[in-house]
Amino acid sequence: MQPASTARPCATIARALLPLGAAALLVGAAPAPKPLHFDHWIDGTAESEPEMQVQKIDADTFVIRQSVRTNFEAPFLYLLFGKDRALLIDSGAGGLKIRPAIDRLIGEWQARHGNRAIDLVVAHSHSHGDHHEGDDEFRARPRTTVIGLAPQQVASFFQVKDWPRSTGSIDLGKRVLDVIPTPGHEPAHVMVYDARTKLLFSGDMLYPGRLYVPLDKFGDFRASADRLAAFAATHPVRALLGAHIEMTTTPGQDYPMEAPTHVSERALPLAPSVIGELQKAVDGAADKAANGGPAPTIDRHADFIVYPRPPRPAA
């Protein structure tokens, strides 16, 4: 947990700046990019639904969704290319083979770039099973590194000098990504920020759904929300792309847990304003509990639900 004495100054600065909009903070910033748009995602409602679906953000940035028919988590994976390396964020929830689709995307990218050799790094938003079940498919793959799941392994690879207070990075070759430690939902959780696209890949900490937080880690989650807000105050964010969709198009309404279909599913991207909304919600719940009030409880918002849970059993 980040000590309150170090977390609160950043939080105060972030709260003061965020209402202005992160992009407005940068003098001479370029006009904001157009909102992201995706075609209809596979949602379990079609009998002929493929196991995976790929959509392109640009020629070097891909979103892959695993069908809810293969695993109820239906996670999103992200593949980003630089000149020398590609980064895969998460490897799926199991129930299918992930590698063939990734190899196909890499092969197609190489064909467009003179069949240039390129390394692959398999990273994870965090260590829960629905985000790393495909790791074994990549361990023997040539020119591939699979990053470990423990906080110290993540910090070491991304050169986070003071976990979780400082940020790390990875250079894919003329494309440097920032890695923001955000423990709370899980101890090794990170977000990845891409300055090129101004996208923030936000994992399970912030997505259209239930943001599960063990009650004994609520302080860690709060510190991460403050750290995220401070980062966003100085980095323009076009949208957040998380690891799941659990919300319907009706604001504040989620699907039942382990729903087999996602009828009328909400769009994947979240607006950057949700960062301040999450920070305010988490700070308010934590402050009430610290002042003798009730422990944090389920808190519904239009685009996400803060969902405290009992502490996880010791491993």
Question: Mean per-residue pLDDT for 84-105?
Answer: 98
Which stretches of 59-186 are assigned E, i.e. beta strand?
Answer: 61-66, 76-81, 85-89, 119-123, 144-146, 168-171, 176-181
Picking from 156, 173, 155, 172, the residue whose alpha carbon sits closest to that of residue 164 is: 155
pLDDT of amino acid 32: 53
Render pLDDT for 151-204 as a digit per residue (tens, 0 to 9). Answer: 999 999 999 999 999 999 999 999 999 999 999 999 999 999 999 999 999 999
Average the pLDDT over 244-263 and give the result: 98
Least confident of 30-44, 69-83, 127-141: 30-44
DSSP states of 238-292: SEEEES---BBSSTT-BPPTT-S--TTBPPS-B-THHHHHHHHHHHHHHHHHHTT
Which pLDDT belongs to residue 240? 98
Instruction: Round to whole Å and give the CA distance between 6 and 226.
Output: 11
- Joined together, the tokens standing for residue 297 give 């409880």
The mean of the pLDDT values for the chain is 91
* Domain residue limits, the chain: 4-21+40-309
pLDDT band at 121 (very low <50, low <70, confident <90, very high): very high
Q: CA of 14: how far to CAs of 53, 65, 228, in Å? A: 37, 32, 9
Report d(CA 156, CA 139) in Å as an integer: 19
Range 69-85 average pLDDT: 98
What is the rounded CA–CA span in Å between residue 134 and residue 152?
21
Q: Give the confidence band of 96 by pLDDT, cuts at 50, 70, 90.
A: very high
Distance CA 68, CA 44 (A): 6
Task: Please give the pLDDT value at position 219.
Answer: 97
Q: What pLDDT score does 15 carry?
A: 39
pLDDT at 309: 95
pLDDT for the residue numbered 34 = 67
Model pLDDT for residues 15-26, shown as the tens digit of each residue = 333 333 333 333
Residue 71 has pLDDT above 60, yes or no: yes
Please state the rounded mean pLDDT for residues 77-81: 99
Q: Is 139 exposed, middle or buried (0-12, 13-18, 19+ CB in 10 A)?
A: exposed
Q: What percent of the chain has pLDDT over 70?
A: 89
Reported as a pLDDT band with limits 50, 70 and 90, residue 35 is confident
Express each pLDDT in 262-292 by its tens digit. Answer: 999 999 999 999 999 999 999 999 999 999 9
Q: Domain spanning 4-21+40-309 has what CATH number?
A: 3.60.15.10
Residue type, 90: D
Check pLDDT > 80 for residue 221.
yes
Between 311 and 14, whose confidence is greater?
311
Q: For residue 97, what pLDDT band results from cuts at 50, 70 and 90? A: very high
